[in-house]
Amino acid sequence: MLDSIDALRANGLARIEQASTAVELEAARIELLGRKGEVTALLRGLKDVAAEDRPAVGAALNQLKHSLGEALEKRDGDLRGTASADPGLDLTLPGRVPVSLGTAHPLVVVLEEICDIFYGMGYDRGDGPEVELDYYNFTALNFPPDHPARDIQDTFFLSDEMLLRTQTSPVQMRTMEQVKPPLAYVFPGRVYRNENADASHSSEFFQIEGLCVDCDISLVDLRQTVEAFVASFFGPGYKTRFRPHFFPFTEPSVEVDMQCVKCGGRGCGVCGQTGWLEIMGAGMVHPNVFEAAGYPADTYTGFAFGMGIDRIAMLKYGIDDIRLLYENDLRFLNQFRGVL
Amino acid sequence: MKISLNWLADHVSWDDDPEGLSARLTSAGLNVEAVEEYTQSWPGVVVARVVECGRHPDADRLSLCKVDTGETELTQVVCGAPNVRVGLAVLFATVGTVLPGDFKIKKAKIRGVESRGMICSNSELGLSGDSEGIIELDGDHEPGTPADDLFGYRDTVLDIEVTPNRPDWLSHLGVAREVAALYGTKLTPPPVLKPSASTEAGFKVEIENFGDCPRYTAHVADGLKVGPSPRWMQNRLLAIGQRPINNVVDITNYVLFELGQPLHAFDCERLAGDTIIVRRAGRKQSVTTLDDESRAILADDLVIADGDGPIALAGVMGLANSEVTEQTSSLLLESAFFAPQLVRGTSRRLQLVSESSYRFEREADWDMVLFGARRALHLLQEHAGAVMCGNAIDRADPDRQPYPDLPLRVHHVNRVLGTSLDTERTADLLRSLGMKVQPLGSQVESKTVNLMVAVPTFRRDLRQEIDLVEEIARMHGFEFEGRSGRKAIPHAPHRLWRDRIRGLLRRWLPSVGYHEIVTSTFMSRAELDALAFGEDDLRAQCLAVLNPNHGGETLLRTSLVPSLIDVSKRNLNAGAKPPVRLFQIARVYWPAGEKQEGHHELEKLLPEEPRLLQVGIAGAGEQGFGGLPKDLIELRGLVDELAGLLRVTMTVVPRDTEPFLQPGLQWDVLDGDGNRIGFLGRVRTDTASALDCDHTVGVLETDLRRLGVESANVVYNTFSRFPAVKRDLSLLVPGGVTFAEVRDTIEAADNSILESLDLFDLYAGKGIPEGSAAYGIRLKFRSAKGSLKGKTVDGALARILVALSDKLGVQQRA
């Protein structure tokens, strides 16, 4: 009898250990301790044991019942995840994922964010070539041939007629050739200037151009659009101001300043102590530009603006050297984790 | 443009400090970039009189002097100047004075004799002019008088950014005009010579073509004494950064900066004949300009010539052959109006930008041509002893039309600016700028012309109505509550798939470990050569920049591969942990690619500019699954993920297409129709090392335009809810049989209930015959009709094994 008790203990414990689901464990419990179970059967057989052996066998049976019960309970805890795990585990070990997070480029992030703001204001997005005809980059935009106005933008030439666009403005003209007003577009993209690189200049950089044309668009619309953009991108509370300027393709032309993001207008190194940061050029579309686009004279008015994305990104992230944006050093890029 | 406030004050008054003035100017469009204090001061330098002067006992060329500096005792000083003599009034630097150039005056012994100070020359004081010997003061000056009382100068100088449309602001008078408008004060023009005598000038002027030179004036003056210009003139010129030379040159410069009219003075005695001709050069020739440079001019360059040939490059610079020298006693003063494009053409070609050409190419002021000459003559008379000889010669195009008056609709002003101006206010704003305005009496509401505006000659930029609108905006300011014309646009922007794809990629790739990079459009010849494109490869043809800004050929890239290698190399060399995962979405420029049709006839010149997606892994460990490099396995997997993300079909086939990828380790990427849309592979070691990269670089590239088709909308399919049956196969695959063949054979053998096939193990080596491989493949079967019976699956499996054995010799392992 004692032998069969030992055999059942070993066998029962093994069966409990092998149960890999709650269902299997319950089946093992019934097989062992159920009303028709094997332990129960042995208990029933106790009456047939010789009286002098009975206390020892009874004790052994009780111990068997108890240890199986304990094993069942422990296994149940394991399967349910409620039992305490091995206390030797070091839970301060670092975690690991198959591949760690990459980054989006801050220039592109800012470009897309600006586009998103204008999508929200009802703007479409347009695109044009970077290798441009002189016609679209200059002539159609009211830069007279051989005029000093062309010197404002040092140009990379590829042939007599072809150049690397110095501004995103040629896309204005290409779009107006295709689309009739009312229209509102942004044109982001890469532009080129034949300048020597330093901390604030790069011969390649990104711009975003905006164009809005309808029957009675005024400078006030431009002003409100600029204010809405600044409030959305930089946050509320920044004042903006218009300063008259000159661009051949807009008139009146202005440069737009906003209160310095660093010092809030008190004057600091970022704004050259003026309290103001120049963020874009803008103006009312010149009638000669409408004429070049084939729009009927005097029917439409509109505004256009252009801003340097590099500069905006530098202001937003406190980057002090434009060249960092084109070096693609992971020690730089990794700082933009989670910026998408 | 530098503006001296002392000089400006000659022409206008303003009740404001320099900062206030700067702010007003900036808000009117004259962007003041800097406000600088200019001072000329020599603390410690005083007037002294030479009382004794004898030879230095020990040096022939030195004098030993005693000077009266206003102190009770005379001061002993050694002087080396030849012109030192008793009685002379001089400027004396006392001991302790610091002269320009950080030159400190100390008590010294010169050849054994004590010297306590220094008698100064012009150059020692940083002044210009006659620098041979010490300064000899004219007039009666009390010894001890500070030099600053005689020569000291203080000024405030504004540095103003002048836009190309406003040549009138390239002068003090022009800026004064703006100040007068802003502060409501009066403009005072400078005094000029009144025309008097009516005798023959002794010279003639001929203009070959009035189109080249619509106006040319010449004045002849005699009795000239060339010498230093007056101190006040020198000070003003110095304050704005100009170097004084002599009275004649300084006066022409002074007038240029005062009035904006460039002038040129010829030495009459050095001119051949009595006729000045304005003509094209006629033939290529070499000339020497005033700056002593030899320059090649072309037949079409506009020149001023005398009987012998060119004496000046019209509007750009005079020639050395007719230059005013110290011996000049009579001069011919040119003041002209040259065709802007001609001046610009010559100036740009010769890379010779002068103050004169800078103004002429922005167009001269018609009325200022004569006024400027008279201003200079007035100054020449006062400060150089000039006497006018005969009348002015003034040749002008008889057919030239005055600038027409401009019509202005106040309604249109309000429409563009969003203002509510009335006719009167509009007229006042324009009048403040010196324009004559004629009201026509019509109402603003009539939307017709309300005002006729006469444009002064100094405003060459005002050509049409909108130019006046800008002037009104400038004067009115931008701080007004206006009217908005923008209606709420009932318009939801259409987001192009092209743009949305880029957004998807830029969110997905970083989330699986890739870093976005932005690289240069430019590529070097070495980079192009490293890619080893064949002659008929369209990427072998590049556009080159004609005027690169640093040495060497600058090409427009036809491939993104060199930039990937470059960024990989720099990061790994800087210690980045490999593998480095990178991606970029950027354009390449293919002049030999497909041409676009467009509105413009020249559109066909433009290159094809496809936008590519490039994904790269650099510095990856060599071995991976089945012996393939790990980077390529990942990129290969990425193709399937990319296809899934964009909902397109993409496949890869092993094919040695790219010359810069390692043969046998590259694939073509195909779209659903089997068109090649990109490549995948390992950059050749010699390509990488040609670009100084000794790391492995795996690259996947595809043309984004080919993925730019709006993918079909998702349409839901019912799926089987019956259980799947899994069976694992352990196969012995003989050498030469590819996984693709095994897969295709299995799929072809039974495709009715086979749901998926997964290669979970791949092994070669011990226990496997040489050249063969062991595959562990898990097959999953499922039916849409009901639970699969064991024997159905067994049947399918048997057909699969037979097919594998018959077609490929693949056996099940024991």
Asked if B493 and A119 come within 8 Å (Cβ–Cβ), the reply is: yes
User: Do A340 and B507 count as a contact with CB atoms less than 8 A apart?
Assistant: yes
Helix (H) or strand (E) holding A327: helix A324-327
**Of A11 and A188, which is predicted with more confidence?**
A188
Backbone angles phi and psi of A205, in degrees to 5: -155, 180
**Residue from the list B483, B518, B550 with its beta carbon closest to the beta carbon of A326:** B518
Which residue in B470, B473, B484 is closest to A221 by CB distance? B484
Kindly determine whether residue B550 and residue A177, on different chains, have CB atoms separated by under 8 Å: no
State how far residue A101 is from chain B, nearest Cα, in angstroms.
5
Residue B420, min C-alpha distance to chain A (Å): 12
Which residue, B183, B153, B139, is CA-closest to B14?
B183
The structure tokens listed for B433 are 């700028």
The helix or strand, by DSSP H or E, that contains position B584, with its residue range, turns out to be: strand B580-587
Parallel, antiparallel, or unpaired: how do β-strands A301-308 and B45-56 relate? unpaired
Which chain A positions have a beta carbon within 8 Å of B162's beta carbon? none
Distances (CA, A) of B345 to A155, B214, B370: 17, 17, 25
Within 10 A of B599 (CB to CB), how many other CB atoms are there? 14
pLDDT band at residue A34 under the 50/70/90 scheme: confident
CB pairs under 8 A between A and B: 238
CA distance B233 to B244: 8
Nearest to A130 among B341, B599, B609 (CB): B609
B642: closest CA among B707, B561, B714? B707
Instruction: Identify the CA nearest to B611 among candidates B526, B714, B502.
Output: B502
Please tell me which of the candidates B473, B503, B513 has its beta carbon nearest to residue A100. Answer: B513
- Chain B interface includes A105 (CB < 8 A): yes
Which of A103, A182, A340 is the closest to B489 by Cβ? A182
Contact B11, B173 (CB under 8 A): yes
CA separation for the pair B569, B690 (Å, rounded): 12
Q: Which of A136, A158, A217 sits opposite B485 (nearest CB)?
A: A217
B581–A286: do the CB atoms touch at under 8 Å?
A: no
CB contact under 8 A, B603 and A221: no
Q: What is the pLDDT of residue B112?
A: 85
pLDDT, residue B488, reads 53
Residue of chain A with shortest Cα separation from B586: A190
The confidence score (pLDDT) of residue A151 equals 78
Q: Do B587 and A224 touch (CB under 8 A)?
A: no
| β-pair type (B285-288, B215-222) | unpaired
pLDDT for B108 equals 87
pTM: 0.85
**Would an 8 Å CB–CB cutoff place A151 in contact with chain B?**
yes
Sequential DSSP letters for B290-304: TTS-EEEE-TTSEEE
Residue A230 has pLDDT above 90, yes or no: yes
Give pLDDT tens digits for A234-257.
999 999 999 999 999 999 999 999
> Mutating which of A159, A220, A288 best tests the B interface, going by the most B Cβ atoms within 10 A?
A220
Beta strands across the sheet bearing B451-454:
B406-408, B451-454, B436-439
What is the reported pLDDT for A306? 97
pLDDT mean over A145-169: 89
Burial of residue B622 (number of CB atoms within 10 Å: 0-12, 13-18, 19+): exposed
What's the confidence (pLDDT) of residue B490?
Answer: 54
CA dist., res. B226 & res. B236, Å (int): 19
Whole-number Cα distances in Å, B813 to B737, B769, B804:
16, 12, 13
Contacts with A108 from chain B: Cβ below 8 Å: 506, 516, 518
Question: Contact B506/A108, CB-based, under 8 Å?
Answer: yes
Q: How far apart are the first and last CA of chain B?
A: 93
- CB contacts of A330 in chain B (<8 Å) are 515, 571, 576, 580
Alpha-carbon distances of B530 from A257, B480, B524, B663, B684, rounded to whole Å: 46, 61, 10, 16, 10
- Which two tokens mark A267? 């004057």
> B189: closest CA among B240, B260, B250?
B260
Long-range contact set of residues B595-600: C-beta below 8 Å, sequence gap at least 24: B598/A174, B599/A174, B599/A177, B600/A133, B600/A135, B600/A136
- Cα dihedral across residues A285, A289, A295, A297: positive or negative: positive
Band of pLDDT at residue A59, cut at 50, 70 and 90: confident
* Cβ pair A221:B486 closer than 8 A: yes
Q: Which residue has the tokens 């004042």?
A: A239
Question: Which of B520, B235, B225, B67 is CA-nearest to residue A204?
Answer: B520
Q: Provide the residue type at A80 as one letter.
A: R
Nearest CA in chain A to B359: A148
- Which of B19, B22, B25, B165 to mutate to probe the A interface, most A CBs <10 Å? B165
Burial B127-146 (b: 16+ CB within 10 A, else e): bbbeeeebbebeeebebebb
**Which chain A residues contact residue B487 at CB under 8 A?**
182, 214
The β-bridge partners of B279 are B303
Structure-block tokens of residue B377: 């003559």
Instruction: Check: CB of residue A5 under 8 Å from CB of residue A53.
Output: no
A112: region left, alpha or beta (phi > 0 left; psi from -120 to 50 alpha): alpha
Number of CB atoms found within 10 A of residue A125's CB: 18
Given the cut 0.90, state whether the ipTM is greater than it. Answer: no
**pLDDT of res. A192:** 96
- A328/B567 CB distance under 8 A: yes
Distance CA B47, CA B90 (A): 6
Q: What are the structure tokens assigned to B518, written together?
A: 């932005």
Looking at chain A from residue 152 to 211, which residues have their Cβ under 8 Å from any Cβ of chain B?
152, 156-159, 161-162, 164, 174, 177, 182, 184, 190, 192, 194-196, 203-204
Q: How many angstroms separate the CA of residue A17 from the nearest CA in chain B? A: 27
Is A103 touching B (CB cutoff 8 A)? yes
pLDDT of residue B197: 61
Residues of chain B in contact with residue A139, where contact means CB-CB under 8 angstroms, are none
Residues 6 or more apart from A258 whose CB is under 8 A from it?
A230, A234, A238, A239, A240, A241, A276, A277, A279
Question: What is the distance between the alpha carbons of residues B136 and B544, in angstroms, rounded to a whole number?
Answer: 62
Task: Name B228's Cβ contacts closer than 8 Å, sequence gap at least 6.
Answer: B128, B129, B130, B234, B244, B246, B247
- Residue ranges of chain B with pLDDT lower than 70? 128-131, 197-200, 485-493, 551, 708-712
The reply to whether A325 touches chain B by the CB within 8 Å rule is: yes
Asked whether the beta carbons of residue A130 and residue B163 sit closer than 8 angstroms, the reply is: no
> What element of type H or E holds B769?
none
d(CA B705, CA B672): 14
